[in-house]
Structure 1
């Protein structure tokens, strides 16, 4: 029997990133975020909670009224997603596709960098995330 294994990644990202196409500044906040570099655990968690409570306010959210065959597309580079299960017990079919994107860059020009492992294992197919593709 074959056993499935996975790699645990730790990465340092800029807290403030610049959108590569619009130049818009956006906080890079997700549930995956564990700590802010340069701050201790308590201060880091307090700051992240402050940011998250701000972006979760109703005035900063989008709700979609779904219809049969509906489609929604968002730019995850500047979007925090939180799915609410309010389907009322009705069957839902969700399909998600992720497009390989750019490596986040902060206003000081620093790019996200891997902490562990130092190099990502080669993907089973295609090119590694963030790598240029042949034209």
Structure 2
């Protein structure tokens, strides 16, 4: 699934932050299902349906896995509709590794529900509404 390759590259290279408007809160993304504590967990927060899941995203965060989990935090998030995509870049090569058929060989996931297996996820499948209060999301990576 080449659609997710750029998630790792973009999240590892571009560490941008959202501007903090008057009503902004944080999003903590708790990710489980990480098989090894190697590599990096790359997270991207998207506000634009056209850029999900492998576009540049609104903000990026990375975390080191520990004990099969990791937390990415996005600060200064304005109220609105967002979606999160995550990738465990197990070998830290900056991309989603795939097999000859294009199927992911590294674990990945999206906010709200399990990611589809045979096609790229759609923004509406991962979208959630952010209000003025801090939010905590839980994502279990797809094997």
Bin the TM-score by the shorter chain: under 0.3
Report the TM-score when normalising by structure 2. 0.22
Higher normalized strand content (fraction of residues): 2
State the TM-score, normalizing by the size of structure 1: 0.22
Higher alpha-carbon Rg: 1
